[in-house]
Amino acid sequence: MRPFAFDTATDSGAAIAIHGGDDRRAYIAGGTTLIDLVKLDVMRPAALIDVSRLPLAEVERLDDGRLRIGAAVTNSELAHHPLVREHYPLLAQAILAGASTQIRNMATTAGNVMQRTRCPYYRDAAAACNRREPGSGCDALHGINRMHAVLGVSEQCIATHPSDMCVALAALGATLTLEGPEGRREIAFNDFHRLPAEHPEIEHELAPGELITHVTLDTPLVGGGAAYLKLRDRASYEFALASAGAVVALEGEVISDVRLALGGVATKPWRAVEAERALDGQPAVASSFEVAADAALQDAVPREHNAFKIPLARQAIVRALRDATARAGTTTTTRGNQG
C-alpha cells in the first residue's frame, strides 16, 4: 500500500475546502470499498479526507412526505429504521440482502451509492481494464465473464454495478443532494450513474470535489406491496447474479402503478422502464409479469459465460412482481405503504 495523507473534517464546507477539487484526493467514510482498492493498488489517493464525522447521520420525514437520509447513515441503521421499515420495506430488504452485518455496520448511505464494481479484472492492477486505466482494453470481454452485465454494456466495459441498496433506490425514485466548490445542487438518482459507453472510467455525475450529503426518497407508492429477490451462488455475503426489486399497487385485480429495478445484470442500477410500461393497467397475473420480464430484457447482450443471466433475471422479475402483488394493500399507513 502506498503512503497517503489523512485529514478529518467535521463539516461539509471544511471537507470540500480540504479536497480543493483535486482528483488525487478522495473522501472516505466507512471505507468498506475504498480501503480494499487502496490495498490492491487500484486506487492511489495522495490524500484521504474522513467525512464520517460530518453531521449527516439523520433520517427524517419531510413535510411533503419524502424521506431524507443523511449521507453518513450506516446501512444497518437505515435498514432497521422504523420509517424505512414501515414506508420503504423494499429498501430495508435490499440492504439486508447485501454484504454482511459487520460491513453493513460500517458502510454508509453515500458510500453504497459510490461503491465500485467487483469485476475481478478491475481489481487486478496487472489486467487490462478501461475503467481503471482508460484505453488499456477490457480483459473481461473475452475472459471469465460469468458475473458480468448483459444490460447497459458497451465494447469498452461490461462490469456490473454491485449494489443491492441502489436497486431499491432506482425502483423507489430518489434525489441526491450534492455539495461542492460551486455550491449545492440536486440530481435524480437514476441520472447519477453513467453507462460505460466510450468512457467507463467516468462512473457518475459528481464534479471534482463534490460529495453526496443526502439521499431523499420519493413519497411511497400508496397501497403498494414490495419485494426484493436476489439470486446468487450462496445464501449470504455474495453479490447478485440477478436481482429484482418491485413495488406494485393494485386497483382491484389490475396494476395501477408499478416500480421495477434490476441488479446483478446491468452496468448501473437499472430501472426497468419498458417493463413498467408493459405492466401499466394490466391484470396482475403471471402472464403479465412474463411479458414485462421479456420487455425488461429485450436488449440484453450475452457474452460467453453469462447468457444464463437472461433467463435467471426473467425468473427473478416474475417472482418479485408476484410477491409484491401478494403483499399489496395488506397493511395501512397514513400515507400509503409498500408492505
- Residues at the contact surface with ligand SF4, assessed by CB under 6 A: 117, 119, 121-122, 129-131, 138-140, 157-159, 200
**Burial (Cβ within 10 Å: 0-12, 13-18, ≥19) of residue 7:** middle
Compare residues 139 and 276 and give the one whose CB is closer to ligand SF4. Answer: 139
State the nearest-atom distance from the C-beta of 159 to ligand SF4, in Å: 4
Contacts of 12 (CB under 8 A, 6+ apart): 51, 54, 56, 179, 211, 213
Q: How far apart are CA 168 and CA 247, in angstroms?
A: 10
Cβ atoms of residues 246 and 171 within 8 Å: yes
State the nearest-atom distance from the C-beta of 147 to ligand SF4, in Å: 10
State the nearest-atom distance from the C-beta of 245 to ligand SF4, in Å: 24
Q: What is the CA radius of gyration of the chain?
A: 20
Compare residues 179 and 203 and give the one whose CB is closer to ligand SF4. Answer: 203
At 309, give phi and psi (nearest 5°).
-65, -25
Compare residues 66 and 305 and give the one whose CB is closer to ligand SF4. Answer: 305
Compare residues 100 and 136 and give the one whose CB is closer to ligand SF4. Answer: 136
Compare residues 2 and 142 and give the one whose CB is closer to ligand SF4. Answer: 142
State the nearest-atom distance from the C-beta of 128 to ligand SF4, in Å: 7
State the nearest-atom distance from the C-beta of 43 to ligand SF4, in Å: 13
Which letter, b or e, does each residue of 299-337 get, where b requires 16 or more Cβ atoms within 10 Å of its Cβ? ebeebeebeebbebbbebbbbbbbbbbebbbeeeeeebb
Cβ atoms of residues 128 and 147 within 8 Å: no
